[in-house]
Structure 1
Amino acid sequence: MIARVALGDRSAFDALYDATSPKLHAVCLAVLKDRPEAEETLQDVYIKIWQNASRYASNGLSPMTWLITIARNRSIDKLRARKSRPTSDTADIAATVASSEPGPESAAIRAQERRLLDECLALLADQQAGAVRAVYLEGATYADLAEREGKPINTVRSWLRRSLLRLKDCVSQ
C-alpha cells in the first residue's frame, strides 16, 4: 500500500489509513496522554506519510515499523513543544489531562446494559438469581456459595450453568 501511496493512489491511502489508524492513534495517545492532541498529531502523521511514502525503503523493517516510527517521532516532537511552552497555572495543566471518566455515550450504553441484566435476572428464581449475583457480581466462589446455601457444589454449578443459559437467551432477545 505504501508503494501505491507513493504513486499518489488515494484509494491506497484510504486503505492504509483504515488499516493502520487505530494502532498509530494508540502510539500518539501513549506518548502525548491527551486525546485531542493525539488526534491532531495523527493527522500530521498521515500528511507526512502521504508526502514521504516514496522515501520508504523495504530494508528488512516492516512497513508498520516505519509508520509507527513516524507516529512516535511526531508525537515526541509535539510533547517537546508542549513542555517548552510556559504554563500559567495548574488549571491549564488540569485542562490538558484526559478524563478517565466514561463519556456520555458509553455511560448511557452501560446503564442500558445494566437495566437489561437486572430485568433478565428478575426472570430467574430468587435462589438462582442470588447465586448468579453472588458469584458473578460479588465475587463469591462456588465453594462459598455451596456452603452458604447448604447444597453440594455440583448443585450450585448446575444452578449457575442453567441460570447463565437462561440469561443468555434473555439478553439475546
Structure 2
Amino acid sequence: MGQDEGVREEDAELIAAVHAAQEGDECAFRTVYRAVQPRLLCYVRTLVGEPDAQDVTSEAWLQIARDLERFSGNAIRFRGWAARTARNRALDHLRMRDRRPAIGGDERELADKPADMDTAREALEALGTGRTLRLIAQLPQDQAEAVVLRVVVGLDAKSAAEVLGKRPGAVRTAAHWGLRTLAELLNVEGAG
C-alpha cells in the first residue's frame, strides 16, 4: 500500500469517526481525539509555547466537542476546522496573557516562538522531540504556522490558508521558506 492510500484510509477512518461522534458515540470521539490531538498540540505549541500549550489545546477540544454537531465536510476540512478552533483559543489566550502583568519575564516573546521542523519526512519523524520544537521556534511566526499546518497537521494550502486568514499562495510560500530555513538550521547544527 502506498503512502497516498494510507492517507486516504486514515482520512476515511477519521471522517467516519467524526460522523459517529456527531451522533453521540463517545468511543468515536475518543478515536477522533487520538487521531488529531498530537498534531493539534504541536500546532498550539508554535503559537503559545510549551507551558500553556496543553491548557489551550484542552480549551480547543472543549469548543470542538460543543460545536461538533455543526461540522460538515471531509477529513481535511475537519483538521482545518480543529486547527482554526485551536488557533482562536490560542490567540484569545495570548491576548489575555498580554493583559496580565508579567511575572519574571516578557511572556510575549513566547508568542513569536514556533515549533521546529526540517523536511516533511524528518519533521514527522522528529515530531515529539525538543530538538524539532527548538528549530521551529527559530522561524518567523508565519513560517512556523505554515510549516506546522502543512507538514504536521496535514492540511493542504487552501485549508491552511483558511485557518490563517491568508491566501493559499502566501501559505505555500511561507511553508517553502520555513522548510528551507529549517534545512539550513539542520545543516548548521550538523556541522557544529
- Which gives a bigger RCO, structure 1 or 2 (Cα 8 Å, sep 6+)? 2
Asked which structure has the greater CA Rg, the reply is 1
